[in-house]
């Protein structure tokens, strides 16, 4: 693939957002805590233990109602107030930097900040609303970062501590990695995303400093197909599957080893739809029909740092990662994937991909 | 994709793509029409024909869009469409580029029929 | 239409189609964001009313890819959101199959927010209703406590993932919804849906999801959301005639 | 006496052609539809027979029509046809009268001089001989013209002459050889025996003075016989077959047989009756105005005769009908083309015959499913009306005409309904012209339904194209009128009061209205009533086509423009103030082709209407609607 | 003797500058023509043939060269005019490199810069091989050889209109006027050089405003079979065969369209020249819509600068074709002379 990297570097240079170094106010993601609880936990673990950062989580914070907002049942005024409430909690705890686990939330936070900037009256109205409803007041935070921004910022530090690299140890070949950026990360407000909207650098940066090769394929920018109501309502799910399938077929010729995503929905759907397509059409994507494992950036970071994949929850993807782990030279006993609290083995689920 | 159409065991249907994939479509009909009615090339899609069309008053027949579809090799939507023209010839009189519109329809219909019988 | 997103999302459109060119919905449904913006721009109330009642405005997946590129700085996606809100406030959404689905979203995500403080709650994603979630989720769901514990969480715990949102916090949320019109929108959706259910002669319940109308809106698919020329006339684009 | 061996070629030819003609005509007769058979039988024993004989005499022998059009050409055909006819008739008498015995075989008449070399020296025989020579000279003079026409057609006032196939060429040569060789044969014989009249006698004497006449004579008798023989043999496969076939045609036509809408014996007969004279080429605007020289009726018919694929030729015609007007043989060229335009008509005809003569029944392999379909049309419930006005698709592109018609009808107090005010449905004529009758039927039924439901007594249309199809292919109770007729009616019954416009105008007969429907006088009456009508060099049945014709699907806009420009030029030579037509299509087409103002007859009349103030006073109620009986 | 002659400095040696200089010299003024490049000629230097008649650019170049070949004209190259200041008794003009000149009048003809296509990130110019600009395509014409980066002969070329024009995302709301007809001209040239190569123009509006432009457009369809698709290309990427894949809406079909291209040509528009902007800032010239120089009056004063003795000529005021530029330059000369005659 002949492409001029200097061109991309130029663009990345133009979109360098400010990512704070420490003291984050952490807000969770409804989807991630439900489906990939491990990822959120390991984000905190990596930041606190490996990087020694201060990340504060207030148990009183709630959903941002983002899925409701983009499902069109929650008005803009309402979500502004809910987000403002989180700002209030941050203010109360003395934090100025928000670390957002969810890309939908991140998009909403940026949309709200932009709206407040261009239409100050909306900020005022939100202050009133929030005060009226909860008696809380808030300061507009100095920065908002998506948690992938933060991992990106410390990617080289992680690389220095790396126990494993994104390399096929058997051949020494860098792993071919497809990066998928959640649409709401930077498509709405390019300057809020590392590297902008067209060539986001946030995941590319991680993959490259951890030894992998990034694949640029025709449908790279295409949406995974979550589409909110398009997945939430059963009758519409064809839309969602259709979009993911389009991406798989576009990346297929490059024989990718894995997909890394920074968006809750994308991580879930690109994994779930691989299973569904397999069930419907009997098609399995990826090298030698092993499917293409879809990992969160925390999971990848965790692997690089040598954490136990099963403790991070890699087994809770329909596409299992054993072949990938093997390539990276990570020893992880498949038998220990599904364990009960007391450490006893649970019955294994049937027809996982590379079960 | 074989899974398109009916609802699958997951309780939803998958529709076919509306994308015009120019590298997948077949421009035989375009070649046929352009060969037999060269003025077809001259259309610049002003829509005059569609605006005045007698059949268009009663149905979706849209010569301007038909020309576009033929040019892109997107034939499916035309199979029905071409049969709706009444050949009344109003379009002929309004076309600013002197396209022999009636014959375009006639030839296109012919081409599409032939395509159906693999005679193109 | 005093929606902020109109001001934000709508300047004179020159019909370049750059939005439709990358729109996932346009590729799947008979949908063309360019035309929607163009119609809204017409400021013709008749046309817009048609639009609010149409299937058209419910096709967008709100990926917002259109915002990145529009040479006139428009955001069709946001225009759509404004239209959807309007359609629900005016009760027009029940006129279309896709519109009626809003009721399902309200009863799932909408209710979750005020009941649990989350849009999605793990014990709510029943594998029965979500076969596409696959074996991994089925397993996780069945052994939720064990699985979650291993990942360092606790269902309805004090902190961490899927912790329990205390009532005082939920009260704050509810009061925010009251103050900011969120509750109003919920009620509007409920009211119009109940009317529609009656009209369609379907069973309707004030609570939950286990009744005919809910099942109907979740599964109904007339299959004509890709209508090509033939139906286009009936389609809203033609109402400009 | 073996010296008479030379007559065998002639006899062969003669008996062959006689037998062939009998067989062919029986086949044609058998293939006729039952009604046509009856017509022919009735015709044979009735007036038509006499009419036919008269026509045969005037057309096939005297070639009156061609005479009218072009005396020189007429003379050529007459001298050959009529001259030869006389030669045969009198030759037979001669043989019968002066020959050694009565009732000789034809050869004795044809080669009379050979058998009676010394005949005609004195008395009555001498005069008779003179007469025979005179006839020969008469024919030869025509032959001379034919040769000239062949090589320099212009001299015969013909723009183009048809191309020949090789059989045609041989047949032609033999035809040309017949009479010169007879002349020489007789001359030599006379020279040898010192007999003969002014032509053969003198020429014979001259030749004999320096040639061994007696020895040379047989050569030319052989040549003469051979020429005749070859000609007869080639007749069926050459264009000259038209000579015998025309006789059948005349009988059939006079018995009331018409072309109809499918191939039949009659179309075959017409096909073979064409003499490829090329008159149709001369009058074809496609040829002299648009420079398209290979699609004219002569070539169309020839294509049919030789069973070629002539789809392109068939399609590329304005269907203006000028050629049909001038065809000396009176072939229904328009209907013939329409039949041919219907997909697969010829194949079907062949199949029908095959089925007739073979036991195995074969089905048409051709896909005959309609190419168009109008299922989408919704039934309409029109309001009742006495007069129904149907503007027509094209008229909607000339709104001025519609406005004018409204003014006129209002001013005459006509109570009418505007059937296609919101556009309406095409009349179906364009589809018919494209050979899509099945499809046209759908539209016809749709419109008929509306017209019937409206209970109208008069259906007025502004478009001659619609007018023709309304009259010919719709089954209606209402009287169909073109607006020129209707306006004329209003004027006649005095319900329309008009002023006089001091304008010189020329009138263009639209093809479908004039030649197509025979409406020539009403428009002229109307125009003369309100303005000064100039004569046009080409008018009425020879009026030109404007070039816009819907009859031609394939003609390019450039070519159309050429035709329009030429027609407009011809019409406006006398520089009229206005060019009046009665067809929206003509109006639009001419408007682009000339500086002269182009108006529809309705617009002209509307201009002559008194100002509203004047009519306000007293207005007579229109009786048009109630007086339909008078028109019907 | 020469000293007696009034002195006019012309900033910019493009079409406008050369024409103005020539006209002034002819009328007996002393002219200094300041050109930033190696030698005068401006953008014309890199053009192969001109619309609408596809005549060689040389013909116009030579005309202009002759025009400035006059004893009253002194050409300074590799130099820019950095500042113009009016004071009683004339103008002081600062040239790059610190030198200062006196002049009785100044004509600003700093022209335009071509839009930097890299700013339209979604088209991947400077990232994907085979994404080139219209100027680079002219270069290929000059070399008489159109080829992909890997040297292969292209089967399909797409010309993308309005790149950097009519696009607020790159802060240019104006139409550059000449790109549409340039695209049609280039499309025809490609078809002539590579008859087997399909050519597509992706346009929003075909702005064929000049004489013979519409005819050229018609010819491109009728004779050369150039394809036109109405829609602004949304994004480009490359597939595994290193062919470009573009996404666009075929707005006339109302459906998204995907197409592979061998070469994608970006019809880059006109922007106020950087050098001109610098000069404008330093000298306090007004900046009008889309950052071009603001003229005294849009209808009857569009050579007036608002600074005494300084006049504008050519595309520094707005996008123009060569014809208009030459006329505009002559108008500037007329204004200048009127001023100098007092």
Q: Answer whether E218 sits within 8 Å of B42, measured CB to CB.
A: yes
Chain C residues within an 8 Å CB radius of A291: none
Q: Which of E175, E201, E249, E259 to substitute to test the interface with C, most C CBs within 10 Å?
A: E249
pLDDT for the residue D158: 62
| Statement: residue D624 has pLDDT above 70 | no
Q: In D, which residues are within 8 Å of B86 by CB distance? A: 372, 374, 425-426, 428, 430-431, 443
Band of residue A192 on the pLDDT scale cut at 50, 70, 90: very high
Is E127 at the interface with chain A, CB within 8 A? Answer: yes
Binning pLDDT at 50, 70 and 90, where does residue D168 land? confident
Cα-based distances in Å from E190 to D4, E46, E157, E262: 81, 17, 9, 13
Chain E: touching chains (3 or more CB pairs < 8 Å):
A, B, C
> A with E: how many residue pairs have Cβ under 8 Å apart?
52
Which residues, in sequence order, are bridge partners of residue E228? Answer: E201
CB contact under 8 A, A346 and C180: no
Closest residue on chain E to C67 (Cα): E169
What mean pLDDT is predicted for residues D529-533? Answer: 96
- Cross-chain residue pair E127–A2, CB shorter than 8 Å: no
Is D434–B87 a contact, with Cβ atoms under 8 angstroms apart? yes
Q: Which helix (H) or strand (E) holds D532?
A: strand D532-534
Interchain contact, D556 vs B94, CB within 8 Å? no
Task: State both tokens at D468.
Answer: 């023709």
Q: Which DSSP state fits C156? A: T
- CB atoms D430 and B103 under 8 Å: no
- What are the residues facing A178 on neighbouring strands? A215, A259
Give the separation between CA A268 and CA A224, rounded to whole angstroms: 10
pLDDT of residue E1: 41
Pull the structure tokens for residue E260.
Answer: 């592979």
- Quote the pLDDT of residue A283: 92
Query: DSSP assignment, residue D378?
Result: P
* A126 within 8 A of A80, measured Cβ to Cβ: yes
Which pLDDT belongs to residue D616? 54
Which residues of chain A does B8 touch, with a Cβ-Cβ cutoff of 8 Å?
Answer: 280
Torsion (CA) D20, D25, D30, D33 in degrees, nearest 10 = 150
The domains of chain A are located at: 19-147, 161-336
CB contact E121 to A (< 8 Å): yes
Tell me the three state secondary structure of residue D13.
helix
8 A C-beta contact, residue D31 and residue D265: yes
Q: What is the percentage of chain A residues whose pLDDT exceeds 90? A: 91
Shortest Cα–Cα distance, B14 to chain C (Å):
9
Residue E238's H or E segment, with its range, is: strand E235-238
pLDDT for position C237? 41
* Chain A meets chain D (3+ C-beta pairs below 8 A): no
Q: With CB atoms and an 8 Å threshold, state whether E129 touches A199.
A: no
- What is the C-alpha to C-alpha distance for residues C105 and A235, in angstroms, rounded to an integer? 12
Q: What does the mean pLDDT of chain D come to?
A: 89
Residues of A engaging B, defined by a Cβ cutoff of 8 Å: 234-238, 241-242, 245, 276-277, 279-281
Nearest to B12 among A236, A279, A281 (CB): A236
Q: Would the CB atoms of B15 and A238 count as touching at under 8 Å?
A: yes
Nearest CA-CA partner of A327 in A176, A180, A148, A156: A176
CA–CA separation, D293 and A242 (whole Å): 59
Pick from C170, C169, C150: nearest CA to C161: C150
Does the distance separating the beta carbons of E249 and C34 come in below 8 Å?
yes
* C207 at interface of A, judged by CB pairs closer than 8 A: no
Contact assessment for residue C22 and residue E253, using Cβ atoms and an 8 Å cutoff:
no
> pLDDT by residue (tens digit) across E135-153?
999 999 999 999 999 999 9
Residues of chain C with pLDDT under 50: 1, 229-241
- DSSP code at position D545: P
What parts of chain E have a pLDDT lower than 50? 1-2
Q: To probe the interface with A, which of C9, C52, C61 has the most A CB atoms within 10 Å?
A: C61
For residue A249, give the chain B residue with the closest CA: B1
**Residue among B58, B100, B106 whose CB faces D377 most closely:** B58
| pLDDT, mean of residues D186-197 | 89
The shortest CB-CB distance from A253 to any of E125, E237, E240 is to E240
HSE-CB of D52 using CA atoms within 13 angstroms:
19
Neighbours of chain B (3+ CB pairs under 8 A): A, C, D, E
Q: D434 to chain B: which residues are within 8 Å by CB?
A: 87, 106
Chain B residues within 8 A of E256 when measuring between CB atoms: 18-20
pLDDT of residue D613: 61
What span, in angstroms and rounded, lies between the C-alpha atoms of D324 and D294? Answer: 17
The candidate with the shortest Cα–Cα distance to E309, out of E293, E289, E276, E285, is: E285
Segment B88-96 shows an average pLDDT of 94
Q: Mutate one of D365, D368, D374, D547 to test the B interface: name it (highest B CB count within 10 A).
A: D374
Contacts of D427 (CB under 8 A, 6+ apart): D390, D392, D393, D443, D444, D447, D461, D463, D465, D466, D469, D470
Tens digit of each residue's pLDDT (9 = 90 or more) over D11-70: 999 999 999 999 998 999 988 888 999 998 888 888 888 999 999 999 889 988 888 878
- Reduce the DSSP state of residue A314 to 3 states and report it: helix
Residues of chain B with C-beta less than 8 angstroms from the C-beta of D394: 88-90, 93
pLDDT of residue B85: 94
- Closest-CA residue of chain B to D316: B103
Q: Does C135 touch chain B (CB under 8 A)?
A: no
Contact E150/A at CB under 8 A:
yes
Q: How far is A205 from chain C (nearest CA, A)?
A: 22
**Domains of chain E (ranges plus CATH)?**
2-111+273-341 (3.50.50.60), 117-269 (3.50.50.60)
Condensed to tens digits (0 to 9), the pLDDT of residues D132-156 reads 999 999 999 999 998 888 887 776 6
Instruction: Please judge whether E247 and C71 are an interchain contact, meaning their C-beta atoms are less than 8 angstroms apart.
Output: no
Quick check: B79 contacting D, CB < 8 Å?
Answer: no
The arithmetic mean of pLDDT across residues B18-47, rounded, is: 94
* Contact B77/C at CB under 8 A: yes
C98 touches chain A (CB under 8 A): yes
Alpha helices in D196-296 (DSSP H): 200-210, 213-234, 242-254, 265-273, 279-283, 285-288
Chains that touch D (3 or more CB pairs under 8 A): B
Mean per-residue pLDDT, A171-178: 96
Domain A19-147, what fold?
Glutathione S-transferase Yfyf (Class Pi); Chain A, domain 2 (1.20.1050)
The architecture that CATH gives domain A161-336 is 3-Layer(aba) Sandwich (3.40)
Interchain CB distance below 8 Å, C120 and A31: yes
**Cβ contact, residue pair B9, A245, below 8 Å:** no
Please write the tens of the pLDDT for every residue from D500-514: 999 999 999 999 999
Which of C13, C25, C63, C71 is the best substitution to test chain E (most E C-beta atoms within 10 A)? Answer: C71
CA distance B7 to chain C (A): 9
- The tokens describing C30, both together, are 């008979």
CA distance A276 to chain B (A): 8
What DSSP string describes D117-145?
Answer: TT--SSHHHHHHHHHHHHHHHHHHHHHHH
Residues 8-27 of B with CB under 8 A from A: 8-15, 17
The whole-number pLDDT of residue D588 equals 96
pLDDT at D273: 93
User: Which pLDDT belongs to residue C4?
Assistant: 56
Q: Which of B12, B19, B81 sits opposite C27 (nearest CB)?
A: B19
**Tens digit of each residue's pLDDT (9 = 90 or more) over D348-371:** 888 878 777 776 555 555 555 567
Q: Is C228 on the interface with B (CB under 8 A)?
A: yes
**pLDDT digit string (tens) for A81-138?**
999 999 999 999 999 999 999 999 999 999 999 999 999 999 999 999 999 999 999 9
pLDDT at res. A1: 47
User: Crossing angle, helix D200-210 and helix D166-193, to 10 degrees?
Assistant: 80
pLDDT level of residue D1 (50, 70, 90 thresholds): very low
Q: Residue D621 pLDDT more than 80?
A: no
* Largest pairwise CA distance in chain D: 103
CB contact under 8 A, D557 and B83: no
Higher pLDDT, D491 or B16: D491
Please say if the pLDDT value at position A15 is more than 90.
no
Chain A: residue nearest E240 by CA?
A: A1
Q: Do C226 and B15 count as a contact with CB atoms less than 8 A apart?
A: yes
């Amino acid at each position: 693939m002949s492409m001029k990297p200097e061109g991309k570097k130029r663009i990345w240079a133009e979109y360098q957002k400010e990512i704070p170094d420490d003291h984050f106010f952490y807000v969770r993601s409804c989807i991630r805590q439900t489906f990939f609880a491990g990822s959120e936990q390991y984000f905190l673990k990596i930041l606190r233990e490996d990087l020694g950062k201060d990340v504060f989580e207030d148990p009183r914070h709630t959903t941002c109602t983002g899925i409701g907002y983009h499902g069109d049942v929650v008005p803009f005024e309402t979500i502004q107030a809910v987000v403002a409430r989180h700002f209030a909690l941050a203010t109360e705890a003395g934090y100025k930097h928000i670390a957002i686990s969810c890309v939908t939330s991140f998009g909403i936070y940026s949309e709200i900040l932009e709206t407040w900037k261009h239409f100050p009256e909306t900020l005022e109205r939100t202050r009133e609303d929030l005060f009226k409803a909860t008696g809380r007041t808030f300061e507009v935070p100095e920065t908002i970062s998506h948690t992938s921004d933060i991992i990106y910022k410390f990617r080289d530090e992680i690389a220095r501590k790396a126990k494993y690299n994104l390399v096929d140890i058997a051949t020494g070949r860098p792993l071919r990695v497809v990066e998928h950026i959640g649409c709401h990360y930077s498509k709405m407000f390019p300057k809020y995303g590392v590297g902008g909207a067209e060539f986001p650098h946030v995941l590319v940066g991680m993959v490259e400093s951890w030894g992998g090769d990034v694949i640029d394929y025709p449908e790279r920018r295409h949406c995974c197909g979550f589409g909110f109501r398009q997945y939430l309502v059963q009758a519409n799910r064809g839309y969602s599957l259709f979009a993911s399938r389009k991406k798989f077929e576009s990346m297929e010729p490059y024989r990718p080893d894995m997909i890394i995503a920074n968006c809750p929905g994308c991580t879930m759907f690109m994994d779930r739809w691989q299973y569904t397509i397999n069930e419907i059409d009997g098609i399995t994507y990826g090298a030698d029909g092993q499917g293409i494992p879809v990992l969160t950036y925390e999971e990848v970071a965790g692997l690089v740092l040598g954490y136990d994949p099963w403790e991070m929850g890699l087994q809770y993807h329909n596409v299992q990662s054993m072949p990938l782990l093997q390539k990276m030279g990570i020893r992880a006993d498949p038998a220990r994937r599904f364990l009960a609290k007391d450490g006893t083995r649970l019955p294994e689920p049937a027809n996982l991909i590379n079960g | 994709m074989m899974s398109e159409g009916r609802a699958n065991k997951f309780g939803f249907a998958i529709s076919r793509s509306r994308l015009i994939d120019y590298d997948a479509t077949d421009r035989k009909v375009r070649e046929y029409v352009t060969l037999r009615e060269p003025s077809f090339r001259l259309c610049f899609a002003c829509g005059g024909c569609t605006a005045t069309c007698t059949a268009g008053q009663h149905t979706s027949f849209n010569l301007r869009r038909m020309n576009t579809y033929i040019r892109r090799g997107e034939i499916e939507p035309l199979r029905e469409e071409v049969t709706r023209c009444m050949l009344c010839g109003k379009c002929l009189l309004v076309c600013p580029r002197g396209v022999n519109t009636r014959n375009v329809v006639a030839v296109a219909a012919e081409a599409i029929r032939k395509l159906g019988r693999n005679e193109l | 239409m005093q929606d902020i997103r109109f001001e934000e999302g709508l300047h004179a459109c020159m019909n370049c189609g750059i939005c439709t060119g990358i729109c996932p919905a346009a590729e799947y449904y008979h949908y063309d964001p360019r035309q929607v913006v163009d119609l809204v721009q017409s400021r013709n109330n008749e046309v817009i009313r048609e639009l609010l009642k149409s299937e058209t405005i419910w096709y967008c997946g709100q990926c917002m890819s259109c915002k990145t590129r529009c040479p006139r700085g428009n955001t069709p996606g946001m225009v759509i959101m404004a239209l959807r809100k309007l359609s629900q406030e005016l009760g027009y959404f029940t006129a279309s199959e896709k519109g009626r689905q809003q009721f399902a979203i309200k009863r799932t995500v909408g209710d979750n927010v005020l009941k649990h403080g989350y849009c999605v709650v793990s014990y709510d994603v029943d594998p029965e209703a979500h076969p596409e979630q696959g074996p991994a989720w089925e397993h996780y769901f069945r052994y939720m406590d064990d699985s979650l514990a291993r990942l360092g969480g606790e269902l309805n715990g004090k902190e961490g993932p899927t912790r329990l949102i205390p009532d005082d916090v939920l009260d704050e949320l509810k009061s925010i919804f009251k103050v900011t019109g969120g509750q109003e929108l919920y009620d509007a959706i409920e009211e119009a849906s109940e009317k529609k259910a009656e009209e369609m002669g379907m069973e309707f319940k004030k609570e939950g999801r286990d009744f005919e109308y809910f099942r109907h809106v979740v599964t109904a698919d007339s299959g004509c959301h890709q209508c090509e020329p033939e139906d286009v006339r009936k389609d809203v684009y033609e109402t400009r005639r | 006496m073996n010296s008479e061996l030379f007559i065998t070629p002639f006899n062969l030819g003669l008996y062959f052609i006689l037998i062939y003609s009998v067989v062919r005509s029986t086949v044609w007769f058998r293939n006729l539809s039952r009604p046509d058979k009856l017509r022919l039988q009735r015709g044979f024993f009735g007036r038509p027979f006499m009419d036919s004989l008269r026509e045969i005499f005037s057309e096939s022998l005297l070639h009156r029509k061609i005479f009218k059009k072009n005396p020189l050409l007429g003379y050529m055909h007459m001298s050959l046809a009529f001259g030869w006819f006389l030669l045969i008739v009198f030759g037979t008498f001669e043989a019968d009268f002066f020959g050694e015995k009565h009732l000789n075989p034809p050869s004795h008449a044809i080669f009379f001089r050979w058998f009676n070399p010394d005949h005609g020296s004195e008395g009555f025989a001498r005069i008779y001989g003179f007469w025979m020579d005179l006839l020969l000279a008469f024919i030869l003079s025509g032959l001379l013209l034919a040769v000239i026409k062949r090589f320099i057609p212009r001299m015969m006032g013909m723009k183009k002459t048809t191309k020949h196939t090789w059989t045609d060429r041989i047949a032609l040569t033999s035809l040309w050889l017949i009479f010169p060789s007879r002349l020489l044969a007789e001359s030599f014989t006379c020279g040898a025996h010192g007999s003969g009249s002014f032509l053969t006698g003198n020429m014979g004497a001259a030749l004999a003075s320096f040639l061994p006449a007696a020895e040379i004579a047989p050569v030319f008798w052989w040549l003469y016989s051979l020429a005749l023989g070859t000609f007869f043999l080639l007749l069926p496969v050459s264009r000259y077959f038209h000579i015998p076939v025309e006789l059948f045609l005349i009988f059939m036509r006079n018995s009331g047989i018409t072309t109809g809408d499918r191939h039949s014996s009659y179309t075959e007969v017409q096909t073979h009756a064409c003499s490829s004279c090329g008159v149709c080429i001369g009058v074809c605007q496609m040829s002299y105005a648009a420079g398209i020289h290979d699609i004219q009726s002569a070539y169309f018919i020839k294509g049919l005769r030789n069973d070629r694929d002539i789809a392109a030729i068939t399609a590329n015609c304005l269907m203006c009908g000028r050629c049909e007007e001038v065809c000396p043989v009176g072939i229904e060229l328009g209907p013939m083309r329409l039949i041919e335009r219907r997909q697969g008509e010829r194949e079907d005809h062949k199949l029908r015959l095959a089925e007739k003569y073979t036991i195995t029944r074969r089905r048409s392999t051709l896909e005959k499913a309609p190419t168009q379909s109008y299922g989408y049309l919704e039934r309409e419930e029109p309001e009742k009306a006495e007069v129904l006005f149907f503007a027509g698709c094209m008229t909607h592109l000339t709104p001025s005409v519609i406005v004018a018609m409204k003014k006129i009808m209002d001013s005459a107090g006509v109570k009418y309904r505007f059937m296609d005010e919101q556009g309406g449905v095409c009349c179906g004529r364009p589809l018919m012209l494209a050979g899509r009758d099945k499809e046209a039927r759908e539209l016809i039924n749709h419109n008929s339904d509306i017209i019937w439901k409206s209970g109208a007594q008069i259906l007025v249309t502004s478009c001659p194209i619609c007018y023709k199809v309304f009259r010919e292919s719709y089954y209606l109770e209402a009287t169909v009128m073109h607006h020129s007729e209707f306006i004329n009616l209003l004027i006649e019954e005095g319900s329309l009061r008009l002023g006089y416009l001091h304008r010189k105008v020329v009138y263009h007969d639209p093809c479908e209205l004039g030649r197509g429907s025979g409406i020539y006088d009403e428009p002229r009456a109307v125009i003369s009533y309100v303005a000064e009508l100039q004569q046009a060099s080409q008018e009425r049945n020879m009026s030109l086509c404007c070039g816009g014709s819907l009859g031609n699907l394939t003609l390019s806009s450039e070519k159309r423009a050429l035709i329009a420009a030429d027609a407009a030029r011809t019409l406006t030579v006398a520089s009229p103030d206005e060019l009046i037509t009665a067809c929206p299509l003509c109006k639009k087409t001419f408007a682009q082709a000339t500086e002269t103002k182009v108006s529809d007859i309705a617009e002209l009349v509307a201009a002559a209407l008194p100002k509203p103030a004047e009519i306000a006073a007293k207005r007579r109620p229109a009786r048009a609607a109630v007086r339909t009986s008078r028109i019907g | 003797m020469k000293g007696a002659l009034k002195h006019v400095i012309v900033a910019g040696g493009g079409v406008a500058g050369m024409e103005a200089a020539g006209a002034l010299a002819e009328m007996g003024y002393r002219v200094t023509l300041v050109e930033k490049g190696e030698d005068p000629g401006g953008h014309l230097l890199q053009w192969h043939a001109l619309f609408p008649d596809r005549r060689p650019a040389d013909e116009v170049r030579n005309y202009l060269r002759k025009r400035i070949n006059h004893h009253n004209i002194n050409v300074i190259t590799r130099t820019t005019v950095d500042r113009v200041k009016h004071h009683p008794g004339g103008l002081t003009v600062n040239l790059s490199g610190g030198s200062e000149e006196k002049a009785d009048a100044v004509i600003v003809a700093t022209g335009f810069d071509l839009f930097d296509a890299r700013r339209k990130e979604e088209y991947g110019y400077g990232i994907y091989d085979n994404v080139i600009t219209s100027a680079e395509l002219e270069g290929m014409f000059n070399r008489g050889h159109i080829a992909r980066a890997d040297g292969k002969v292209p089967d399909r070329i797409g010309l993308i209109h309005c790149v950097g024009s009519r696009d607020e995302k790159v802060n240019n709301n104006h139409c550059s006027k000449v790109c549409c007809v340039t695209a049609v001209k280039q499309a025809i040239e490609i078809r002539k050089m590579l008859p087997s190569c399909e050519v597509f123009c992706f346009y929003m509006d075909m702005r064929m405003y000049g004489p013979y432009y519409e005819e050229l457009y018609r010819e491109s369809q009728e004779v050369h079979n150039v394809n036109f698709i109405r829609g602004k290309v949304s994004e480009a990427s490359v597939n595994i065969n290193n062919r470009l894949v573009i996404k666009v809406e075929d707005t006339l079909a109302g459906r998204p369209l995907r197409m592979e291209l061998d070469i994608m040509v970006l019809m880059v528009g006109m922007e106020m020249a950087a050098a001109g902007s610098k000069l404008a800032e330093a000298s306090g010239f007004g900046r009008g819509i889309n950052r071009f120089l603001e003229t005294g009056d849009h209808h009857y004063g569009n050579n007036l600068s608002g600074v005494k003795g300084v006049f504008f000529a050519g595309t520094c005021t707005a996008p123009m074709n060569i014809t208009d530029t030459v006329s505009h330059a002559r108008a500037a000369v007329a204004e200048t002379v009127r001023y100098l005659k007092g």
